[in-house]
Each structure stands twice: as structure tokens, then as C-alpha cells.
Amino acid sequence: MRKMIAYCGLDCEKCDAYLATLHDDQALREKTAKAWSELNHVPILPEHINCLGCRADGIKTVFCDSLCEIRQCALKKGVETCGDCEELEKCPTVGMILADNPGALKNLKG
């Protein structure tokens, strides 16, 4: 499995936070902070939009680093991704991501 597939199966290489970090794109940071603030109803500033991927070494957004229940669960269980967990098919924690992103499940099983 590619290192840039998140614990939940999302592709970090397509994430705006990752892309903004990789290309040092301040405009994308600002756009992403605004969108994520509105989506999550919390203040997110452009300087919070820095991430090299949730399974990669290096900087992560605050959410990915410490607030993401999926990442915390995978770290606790010691699995590479949720695809390695026997509870994947019935897990409510990752289930919301998989329901909205069919490609994520494919990434986990691929």
C-alpha cells in the first residue's frame, strides 16, 4: 500500500492541506482554512494548513495529528491502516468516511 494512503483510506496526495504544504501554496492554505472552518464550524487559520500525510513522518494538521479518531484508533491497534483491522466492515468510526468516499474502501482493500 502506498504510504500516502491515510489510515481511513483517503488519498493524502489529493488533500488540499498536503498539496498546500508540498507546494508552499499560501492561497490554497487560505482557501482550505476557510472551507474547513465553514464545514466544521470551528476557526481554522491558514497557518494550521500544513500536513505531510497522516502516516508519514513530519508535520500534520492539528486534526490529523491529535483529533482524528480513526488515526488514534489505528495507532492504538498497531495497524498500518484500517484495511488491516478485522473490524473494518462494521466499524462506525471509519464507516462515515467509507460511506462518503467509495475510493477509500478500494484503497484499503487494494
Per-chain mean pLDDT for the chain? 93
CB of 62 closer than 8 Å to CB of 70: no
pLDDT at 56: 92
Note the pLDDT tens digit of each residue in 48-98: 999 999 999 999 998 889 889 999 999 999 999 999 999 998 999 999 999
**3-class DSSP state of 5:** strand
Report the predicted TM-score, pTM, of the whole model to 2 decimal places: 0.86
Cβ proximity of 108 and 7 under 8 Å: no
